Amino acid sequence: GAGVSQTPSNKVTEKGKYVELRCDPISGHTALYWYRQSLGQGPEFLIYFQGTGAADDSGLPNDRFFAVRPEGSVSTLKIQRTERGDSAVYLCASSVRRDSPLHFGNGTRLTVT
């Protein structure tokens, strides 16, 4: 079956612009996570959804970052007024339940120029 799908795979934007990154989880997976992986680092947790609600957004670095999952399936990570420091690979993962292993997508590589 299809895995976690993230679009676009690459995104280049100018400093100050707004970007949206999309994640399509595996069908039926209720839990969805966003992580950010900077060059040479391990992934860092951003936010966790259980269904439609954000159960834990403690990893979002500041109020320029926001994520939604309005129907409990697709999620969008939104970044306002992008900065060069936001350049990273943004990973999405989903799981059947909160206590199940994560399935990761291939990520979106964001470059802010």
Partner 1 sequence: AQSVTQLGSHVSVSEGALVLLRCNYSSSVPPYLFWYVQYPNQGLQLLLKYTSAATLVKGINGFEAEFKKSETSFHLTKPSAHMSDAAEYFCAVSDVISGTSYGKLTFGQGTILTVHP
Q: Which residues bind partner 1 (CB under 8 A)?
A: 3-4, 31, 33, 35, 40-45, 48, 56, 59, 91, 93, 95, 98-99, 101-107
- SS3 of 34, please? strand
Identify which of residues 14 and 97 has a Cβ nearer to partner 1 in the complex.
Answer: 97
**What CA–CA distance (Å, rounded) separates 18 from 81?**
6
Which residue's structure tokens are 């400093």?
Answer: 15
Identify which of residues 48 and 65 has a Cβ nearer to partner 1 in the complex.
Answer: 48
Token pair for 106: 């291939």
Token pair for 43: 């992934």
To partner 1, the closest distance from the beta carbon of 104 in angstroms equals 4
Which residue's structure tokens are 């976690």?
Answer: 4
Identify which of residues 14 and 53 has a Cβ nearer to partner 1 in the complex.
Answer: 53
To partner 1, the closest distance from the beta carbon of 98 in angstroms equals 4
